[in-house]
Amino acid sequence: MSLLVTGSIAIDTIETPLGRVEEALGGSAVYFSLAAALFTPVRMVGVVGEDFDLDRFKPLADKPIDTSGVEVRRGSKTLRWHARYTGAMNSAETLRIELNVLAEHGAPVPPEFTDSRYVFLANTHPALQREFARQFTAADLLVCDTMNLWIENEPDELRKTLGVVHGLVLNEGEARLLTQQMNLVTAGREILKLGPRFVVIKKGEHGSLLVSHDDLFLVPPYPTERVLDPTGCGDSFAGGMMGYLASRGRFDRQTLRAAMARGSVVASFVLESFSVDALSRVTAADVERRLAELREMASFE
Amino acid sequence: MSLLVTGSIAIDTIETPLGRVEEALGGSAVYFSLAAALFTPVRMVGVVGEDFDLDRFKPLADKPIDTSGVEVRRGSKTLRWHARYTGAMNSAETLRIELNVLAEHGAPVPPEFTDSRYVFLANTHPALQREFARQFTAADLLVCDTMNLWIENEPDELRKTLGVVHGLVLNEGEARLLTQQMNLVTAGREILKLGPRFVVIKKGEHGSLLVSHDDLFLVPPYPTERVLDPTGCGDSFAGGMMGYLASRGRFDRQTLRAAMARGSVVASFVLESFSVDALSRVTAADVERRLAELREMASFE
């Protein structure tokens, strides 16, 4: 099934206890697309400024990623993010953010992309997510992400968006903030009442939880020891998951479980380098190998 | 195999966002024994003061728990702990602790118990743990727990103790503090260098991780939604695990995995009531039911 992502394309400067990278390729749409492309072709919709050298897309070359939906906006500048991770690197501290082009209007969806059947709306203003959603009239599966900023400042808009998507992906802190429920299973069930048929709660180094009307599933993290930079992990998880779902053309209980396991494995590679270095070099065989290990690692009698 | 636990017997006052219990039965040896008794007979070694009404042991009656190793010390008072859990209840805030009898010397091990083959040394001063360990000359498996206090204040004593035990059970914060490693797999491997053949890192609501020379295993938590009071969860996890190992009489790779899954399930019942109310009512059939659910809940293609 055709898969499309709307999200950010960024120039990231990242500091972690193990190093630093300056002005590297980042953004939710980029991580998502590289992860999804391991399973299926992906259409990328986003916007950069005229300061964006298209050579930066080199890691996306030779992959089934269609970047024709990336607008290069004249007179605008690309999103820039400078962040630092400390300790167990479970959350980023934003040192500086220049929204630039993201503070303007959203990227236009090319007419030839509006027939996309599987669509992921990465984190942005929930009204803009809904504006995107409206254009995909043939969508079988619409999934979105969100963040604390919208949960706190745009709760009504977010609720409307949750009323039109089929799935929500968010992290544990966001799930608790959105529902005021500390227990994550309870939080997941509360979110289902807002509209989505399933919710995936990402727990960082602790894996992810699926709550749906007919399932409750825990996917463990692939326990890599080489954690250099967690940037893009969540978006790559979503990319791996959605890419697998689109490749199978269904999102029933068993397929959702299998898709989350793939997302978990793909995210483990992202941790092992700065920016998209490791992710852009991963092969389908690498994914299969870790998947087999993960399955073995989680089995018991 | 005979199983013995040395640990505390306490009178707990616990406050959580969902209620409060006053002067209830608690202590590591109590939770451990009730959990282990679901799988095998258990010998309990501990000490209480003369203020301890033995009627408090009623929840242990009719279980295969031998309390003849519990000393009632004249002139002393029982350990009392008053604690509060807030938010996601991941850690307790001690409001008041009266060590009382625990600040004196350890409990004597009855001579007829020194032939125990499987022994769990619950958290106490590492020198005292070693003093206990020395007495179990027939032990096949010695496992201990520890806490921040000893990691910070008695690092040399703790290292000596880790040199004589076969296994260590501790929580993720303690593992990080002990090794100064943020990555839990790396932390586990560092601990193996100190002596134990395996280490189990408890991650609270996120399950547990086993690191050994020949295995890496992730056991998910049983995702109960009725979380009233987490007191005793870690000790019950250890009790379920050790009880199962003793019942099988071995602690190879597959048996350790199976034992941790049982520990995870037993701990889930503890959460659902204050004190030992729920734990003392659990049956082997209840454990089997949740175990089957947990297995199903963690499976993927």
User: Residue B185's closest chain A neighbor by CA?
Assistant: A225
**Single-letter residue type at A298:** A
- Scan residues 147-176 of B and list those with Cβ closer than 8 Å to A: 176
Average pLDDT of every residue of chain B: 95
pLDDT band at A104, cuts 50/70/90? confident
Nearest CB among A176, A258, A297 relative to B218 is that of A297
pLDDT at B108: 93
Q: Give me the interface pTM, i.e. the ipTM.
A: 0.84
The whole-number average pLDDT for the span B166-188 is 96
**Residue B87: what pLDDT?**
82
Surface-to-core class of residue A252, CB atoms within 10 Å of its CB (0-12 exposed, 13-18 middle, 19+ buried): exposed
- Measured from the Cβ of residue B213, the count of other Cβ atoms closer than 10 Å reads 10
Q: Within the 196-255 window of chain B, which residues sit less than 8 Å (CB to CB) from chain A?
A: 203, 205-207, 209, 216-221, 223-225, 227, 254
Q: From the CA of B113, how many Å to the nearest CA of chain A?
A: 31
Determine contact: B272 vs chain A, CB below 8 A.
Answer: no
Give the C-alpha separation, B271 to B155, whole Å. 32
Q: Which of B230, B298, B231 minimizes the C-alpha distance to B260?
A: B298
Tell me the angle at which helices B28-36 and B233-248 cross, rounded to the nearest 10 degrees: 40
Residue B169 to chain A, least CA–CA distance (Å): 18
CA angle B218, A203, B299 (to 5 degrees): 45
- Residue B36 reports pLDDT greater than 90: yes
B156 min Cα distance to partner chain A (Å):
25
Chain B nearest CA to A186, separation (Å)? 6
Nearest CA in chain B to A18: B182
Q: Over range B45-64, report the average pLDDT.
A: 96
Task: Kindly indicate the confidence band of residue A116, based on its pLDDT and cuts at 50, 70 and 90.
Answer: very high
Which residues of B fall within a CB distance of 8 Å from A227?
182-183
The widest CA-to-CA distance across chain A, in whole angstroms, is 61
Pairwise CB contact (< 8 Å): B258 & A89? no
* Closest residue of chain B to A189, computed from CA coordinates: B225
Pick the CATH number of A3-297 from 3.40.50.720, 3.40.630.30, 3.40.640.10, 3.40.1190.20: 3.40.1190.20
| Segment A232-241, tens digit of pLDDT | 999 999 999 9
Q: Which of B159-168, B219-228, B232-241 has the lowest mean pLDDT?
A: B219-228
In this complex, how many residue pairs, one in chain A and one in chain B, have their CB atoms less than 8 Å apart? 89
**Residue B251 tokens, joined:** 């602690």
Of the candidates A183, A217, A223, the beta carbon closest to that of B185 is on A223
Interchain CB contact of B110 with A (< 8 Å): no
One-letter amino acid at B295 equals R
Testing the interface with A: which of B218, B244, B264 to mutate, by most A Cβ within 10 A? Answer: B218
Q: Is the pLDDT of residue A127 over 90?
A: yes
